[in-house]
């Protein structure tokens, strides 16, 4: 299992300019353009300067996309190249195979999050108000999107299928989840629609961890995010325990 995990991590590190550096630069450009350049023209949100307000959402958005994209492409490629058959024939339990294949996306997401945070501290002076809430939110996010990448990588028939979920599902839901604004300022029915977005609760949990405030209760945000993570992780574990579609 450790060798399998090492292979997935090395896969990320060998292409670090694409897998790690590019998302960090992209997120930091959002902070510079929308935060530093426009913060003087945008009123503080709940008493928080706009450049600080957008950092938590941008960081978790980059981490979630990285965890999903890494694992979905890795699993699809392993199935397509029949490399996964060799892993399944090894004396490994199903959960060991799942953990080994998942850790690459987790490590990639953690490195991206650390990089964005390291750049945001001197740029906007962000801190961590509720570290335990932040750790729980990030942990749920990594479990949720890493497992989702595994599920999509198993079901995908082409690379386009994996990209479709990221581009047309995850990215729009993230942008509409309150990354750049507080949903409290939205008129009805858009405020209610935003509360039906599952990623909204993840963004709010992370924002509460950093800033100590959010649009909803942190308990509610963590509960919904945690339940989603458990459901998707259970789904991915079921696929590996049954072998369903793994050799298709």
Whether the pLDDT of residue 248 is over 80: the answer is: no
Q: SS3 letters for 99-114? A: HHHHHHHHHHHHHHHH
Look over the chain and give the mean of its residue pLDDT values, rounded to a whole number: 90
More confident residue, 166 or 109: 109
| Any domain includes 83 | yes
- β-strand partners of 48: 45
Query: 58 and 177 in contact (C-beta within 8 Å)?
Result: no
Q: What share of the chain is helix, strand, coil (3-state, %, to 5)?
A: 75, 0, 20
Quickly state the pLDDT bin for 160 (edges 50, 70, 90).
Answer: confident
CB-count exposure of residue 2 (10 Å: 0-12, 13-18, 19+): exposed
Q: Is 79 domain-assigned?
A: yes
Mean pLDDT along residues 111-123: 95
Asked whether residue 52 is assigned to any structural domain, the reply reads: yes
pLDDT at 168 over 90: no
Number of H helices, E strands in the chain: 13, 0
Residue 137 has pLDDT above 80, yes or no: yes
Total domains, the chain:
1
Whether residue 247 is contained in a domain is answered as no
Residue that wins the pLDDT comparison between 59 and 166: 59
Alpha-carbon span 201 to 219, nearest angstrom: 10
Query: Which range marks the domain in which residue 218 is found?
Result: 2-39+47-242
State the Cα–Cα distance between residues 175 and 79, nearest whole angstrom. Answer: 31
Residue 145 inside a domain? The answer is yes
Q: Which residue has the tokens 């190249």?
A: 81
What backbone phi and psi angles, to 5 degrees, belong to 22? -60, -50
Tokens of 228: 């989603």
DSSP state of 227: H
The mean-pLDDT minimum among 34-43, 64-73, 203-212, 222-231 falls in: 34-43
Cα separation, 75 vs 165, in Å, equals: 15
By residue count, the chain amounts to 248
Backbone φ and ψ of 39, nearest 5°: -60, -30
- pLDDT per position as a tens digit, 192-227: 888 899 999 999 999 999 999 999 999 999 999 999
Q: In degrees, to the nearest 5, what angle opens at C-alpha 74 toward C-alphas 157 and 144? A: 95
- Phi and psi at residue 157, to the nearest 5°: -100, -20
H runs (alpha helix) in the chain: 2-14, 16, 22-30, 50-53, 55-80, 83-89, 94-124, 131-155, 159-165, 171-175, 190-195, 198-211, 218-242
pTM of the full structure: 0.92
């Amino acid at each position: 299992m450790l060798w399998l995990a090492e292979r997935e991590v090395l896969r990320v590190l060998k292409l670090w300019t694409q897998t790690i550096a590019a998302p960090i630069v992209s997120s930091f450009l959002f902070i510079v353009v929308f935060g530093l350049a426009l913060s003087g023209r945008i009123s503080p949100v709940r008493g928080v300067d706009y450049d600080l307000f957008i950092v938590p959402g941008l960081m978790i958005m980059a981490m979630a996309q990285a965890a999903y994209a890494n694992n979905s492409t890795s699993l699809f490629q392993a199935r397509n190249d029949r490399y996964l058959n060799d892993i399944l024939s090894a004396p490994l339990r199903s959960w060991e195979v799942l953990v080994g294949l998942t850790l690459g996306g987790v490590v990639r997401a953690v490195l991206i999050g650390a990089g964005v945070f390291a750049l945001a501290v001197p740029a906007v002076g962000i801190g961590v108000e509720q570290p335990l809430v932040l750790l729980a939110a990030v942990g749920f996010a990594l479990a949720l999107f890493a497992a989702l990448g595994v599920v999509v990588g198993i079901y995908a028939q082409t690379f386009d299928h994996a990209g479709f979920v990221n581009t047309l599902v995850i990215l729009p839901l993230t942008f509409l989840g309150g990354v750049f604004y507080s949903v409290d300022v939205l008129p009805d029915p858009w405020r209610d629609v935003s509360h039906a977005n599952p990623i909204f609760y993840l963004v709010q949990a992370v924002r509460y961890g950093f800033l100590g405030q959010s649009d909803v209760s942190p308990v509610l945000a963590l509960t919904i995010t945690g339940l989603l993570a458990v459901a998707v992780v259970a789904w991915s574990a079921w696929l590996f325990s049954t072998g369903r579609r793994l050799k298709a």
